[in-house]
Amino acid sequence: MYHTQEKRQNRLFQPVLCTRRDAWLGHAYYFWNDIYDANVWGTKSKRRTGQYEVYKGVIESENILDTVFSEDGYQFFLQTINKVIEVFLNKTGRLPEIPDVCNYIMRVAKWNTVLDGVLFSDSPNTDIEKFNYRKRIQLALYNPKCLVSFEFLKEGLC
Structure confidence by residue, pLDDT tens digits, 65-96: 999 999 999 999 999 999 999 999 999 999 99
- Concatenating the DSSP letter of every residue in 94-118 gives S---HHHHHHIIIIIS-HHHH-SEE
Alpha helices in 23-156 (DSSP H): 35-45, 71-92, 98-103, 111-114
Per DSSP, 122 falls in state E
Grouping H, G, I as helix, E, B as strand and the rest as coil, residue 143 is coil
Q: What pLDDT, on a 0 to 100 scale, did the predictor assign at position 128?
A: 65
- The answer to whether residue 116 scores a pLDDT higher than 70 is yes
The whole-number pLDDT of residue 101 equals 86
Query: What are the residue ranges spanned by the domains of the chain?
Result: 2-157
pTM of this structure: 0.90
Q: So what's the pLDDT on residue 107?
A: 87
HSE toward the beta carbon, residue 60, CA cutoff 13 A: 3
Q: Is the pLDDT of residue 45 over 90?
A: no
Question: At residue 97, does pLDDT exceed 70?
Answer: yes
Rounded to an integer, what distance in angstroms lies between the CA atom of residue 121 and that of residue 95? 21
DSSP 144: G
The per-residue pLDDT for 126 is: 61
Each residue's pLDDT tens digit, 1-20:
999 999 999 999 999 999 98
pLDDT at 124 over 80: no
Q: 126-153 pLDDT, tens per residue? A: 666 667 778 899 999 999 999 999 999 9
C-alpha Rg value of the chain to the nearest Å: 16
